[in-house]
Amino acid sequence: MKKISLQDAVAQIKDGMTLMIGGFLGVGCANDIIDALIEKGVKDLTIISNDTSFPDKAHGKLIANRCVKKAIVSHIGTNPETINQMNAGELIVEFVPQGTLAERVRAAGGGLGGFLTPTGLGTVVAEGKQIINVDGKDYLLEKPIKADVALLGANIADESGNLIYVGTTQNFNPLMAMAADLVIAEAEKVVKVGELCPEAIHTPNIFVDFLYSKE
């Protein structure tokens, strides 16, 4: 793991890549990196996130600036631009129930072949998916989902890349740290190695390839 500049962080992300973006409605997102991606003019991204935030916040700006061709999310209701582009056929939106999305990411990080859930049976969520019966009960087989790059938004990091998330910023970030080929963390504050209590660390540095901070 090494600390890199914002320019170098953005250089890791190319047109057409699949990005996991941690956080919830922009809380816990790598906001500086996202803004720099928009400035770079990156396009044709597939994003995996809980939501598409708001048109003027976090990864919602990627939608508003038409950097995204597909969004795999649990809801889009807070971003009218996502809705408009989807209805116009300009953006593919794959809806995944929130718990199922988390578990698909977790399955990828854990090297699993998938998991079984009753959530989505009898709905559009089940279209094209395998149904498996266990002890007389039907389940959907949900397969792992991974990405080329995960962008994490941490509150505190140490210089070796151990990460702490405060409050709801933890949403999806620890899971996504394990489910991408390359992991870039953006931290609000960086401290010396040894200043973080080991039991307080949410994402160990072994999962973090690069660390960016404006500090």
- Per-residue pLDDT in tens (0 to 9) along the chain, 215 residues: 589 999 999 999 999 999 999 999 989 999 999 999 999 999 999 999 999 999 999 999 999 999 999 999 999 999 999 999 999 999 999 999 999 999 999 999 999 999 999 999 999 889 999 999 999 999 999 999 999 999 999 999 999 999 999 988 999 999 999 999 999 999 999 999 999 999 999 999 999 999 999 87
Domains in the chain, start-ordered, CATH in brackets? 2-96+144-212 (3.40.1080.10)
pLDDT digits (tens, 9 = 90+) for 168-190: 899 999 999 999 999 999 999 99
Q: Please check whether residue 91 is in contact with residue 63, taking contact to mean a CB–CB distance below 8 angstroms.
A: yes
User: Residues 6 or more apart from 9 whose CB is under 8 A from it?
Assistant: 33, 36, 184, 186, 210, 212
pLDDT digits (tens, 9 = 90+) for 87-111: 999 999 999 999 999 999 999 999 9
The 3-state secondary structure of 90-137 reads CCEEEECCHHHHHHHHHHHHCCCCCEEECCCCCCHHHCCCCEEEECCE
